[in-house]
Amino acid sequence: MQVTHTSIGGVLLLTPTPHRDERGFFSRTFDAAIAREAGIDPDAFCQDSLSRSRKGVVRALHLRGGAGEAKLVRCSSGAIFDVAVDLRPQSPTYGRWESFELDGDHQRSVYIPAGCAHGFQALTEPADTSYRIDREHDPADSIAIAYDDPWLAIPWPLPVTVRSPADAAAPTLAELGLQPDRRVAP
């Protein structure tokens, strides 16, 4: 498994090497030793979740308040346009976002550290997205940010088909008081 550092400090792309043959493929999607070498505490994860999304669905940019939440995200089937936004106030890349195409064929994962928002758009019908999270879910700490925040100007690749009512009502960074006073280019 190869670990690649991205333009946002702490956001890592983990690329496995699937074994392919006439049956299909076999791929290791997580390796505790490699995670440790990359600075990820594999023992911190306490919850695995799975979402299934229809093509065009956007799951808005989500962030956890309080102590934050780190997550390891992978598209196990189908494909997604995955986005991480650095909202850590002391980070030199505060306000920067980066996108990744994750899909079931390559089984790449993105590690998103606490303090970064995460969202994605399903590129296929369906797209299954797996999350490995380092905190138990507490709805009181959940923060959603508008997927179409004009300050971020994320170029979602497809027309948006469906959003949850909470995501549809999500405020912008400016409305949350989180809009950085400086722009860091993606």
Catalytic sites, residue numbers:
62, 131
Overall residue count recorded for the chain in this entry: 186
Is the peptide bond prior to 180 cis by the omega test (within 30 degrees of 0)?
A: no
Indicate the pairing of strand 47-53 with strand 127-133. antiparallel
CB-based contact 121:81 (threshold 8 Å): yes
Q: Is the CB of residue 132 less than 8 Å from the CB of residue 30?
A: yes
Are the CB atoms for 63 and 147 separated by under 8 Å? no
Answer for the pair 29, 35: CB distance below 8 angstroms, yes or no: no
Q: At 137, phi and psi to the nearest 5?
A: -65, 130
